[in-house]
Every structure is written in structure tokens, then in C-alpha cells.
């Protein structure tokens, strides 16, 4: 019996080096420049371009995935596996190396079903408390 590999949704525009590194690691990725076709956003992990973080909660309300966001965003809490606390994986620098490291951490966590279920539950709890218009674009 083979285990399912996670699908990483790249929401926004990302460096070709990041995409190449993910492909070399065998990480499945799907690309979305925006959330216009949100019904097609079917994945496990959502890597969010810094420019689209405000729209990410709209996506996460419609499709529960574990987010990866830029560390400066105050709305996402970094997952700490030792404390089993948090619901996102944060990248520290807005560059492909930091984004890659965050994706790898999330993919590794996906391999632990109990932890992953708890992270998804926390994502759902947080997103359910966020108002749609709180993050809407004007």
C-alpha cells in the first residue's frame, strides 16, 4: 500500500528556482495566479505569495488546506511540532530558499496523520472565526 503524497498549491507568482527545486524533490505542485478559479484549488498545502495573503483566507474558507505564508503576516501562526501549536508554516525571507524550506517542513508534517489532522482542524477553527470582508480587497 503506497501512501498518498501531498499536493502543494502555489497561489501567486513564484521564482522558477523554487519550482525547479520542488520538482527535483518530487513534490507535486499546481499553479494558480489568483483565486478566480477557486473551485479548482484542490490540494493539501497552500503556498501563498506575499502579495496575495489577504485573499488567502477567502481561499481557506472555501478549501481547507494548510497555509504557508510570509512570517511578517500577523494572521498566521507558525506550527510548532513540539508544542503541537499553530496552523501554518512560515517562510522567514521572501525568497525561494525560505519558501522551499517551509514547503519541505509542511510536506514532512503531512507524513504524520495525527499531527496533520490537528493542523487542519486548527486551520478550520481559525478560518471559521475570520469574517470574509475583513480581508477583502477594496
Could you tell me the pLDDT band of residue 138, with boundaries at 50, 70 and 90? very low
Choices 3.30.110, 1.10.443, 2.30.30, 3.40.50: CATH for 7-133: 3.40.50
Per-residue CA distances from 120 to 88, 114, 124 (Å): 9, 10, 6
Domain ranges of the chain: 7-133
pLDDT tens across 35-83, in order? 677 667 789 999 999 888 878 888 888 889 999 999 887 789 999 999 9
Which H/E stretch holds residue 69?
Answer: strand 66-70
The pLDDT, as a whole number, for residue 23 is: 94
d(C-alpha 71, C-alpha 23), whole Å:
24
Q: Please give the pLDDT value at position 62.
A: 85
CA quadruple 12, 16, 18, 24: dihedral positive or negative? positive
Dihedral-angle region of residue 108 (phi above 0 means left; psi in -120 to 50 means alpha; beta otherwise) = alpha
Distance of CA 47 to the CA centre of its chain: 4
Q: Which residue has the higher pLDDT, 35 or 25?
A: 25
In this predicted structure, the answer to whether residue 128 has a pLDDT above a threshold of 90 is no
Higher pLDDT, 57 or 8: 8
Give me the chain's average pLDDT, please: 87
Amino acid at each position: 500500500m503506497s501512501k498518498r503524497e501531498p499536493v502543494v498549491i502555489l497561489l501567486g507568482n513564484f521564482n522558477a528556482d523554487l519550482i525547479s527545486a520542488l520538482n527535483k524533490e518530487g513534490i507535486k505542485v499546481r499553479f494558480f495566479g489568483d483565486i478566480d478559479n477557486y473551485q479548482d484549488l484542490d490540494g493539501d498545502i497552500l503556498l501563498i505569495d506575499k502579495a496575495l495573503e489577504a485573499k488567502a483566507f477567502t481561499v481557506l474558507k472555501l478549501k481547507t488546506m494548510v497555509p504557508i505564508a510570509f512570517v511578517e503576516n500577523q494572521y498566521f501562526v507558525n506550527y510548532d511540532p513540539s508544542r503541537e501549536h499553530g496552523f501554518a508554516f512560515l517562510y522567514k525571507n521572501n525568497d525561494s530558499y525560505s519558501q522551499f524550506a517551509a514547503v519541505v517542513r509542511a510536506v514532512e508534517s503531512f507524513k504524520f496523520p495525527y499531527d496533520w489532522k490537528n493542523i487542519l482542524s486548527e486551520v478550520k477553527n481559525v478560518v471559521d472565526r475570520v469574517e470574509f470582508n475583513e480581508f477583502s480587497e477594496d
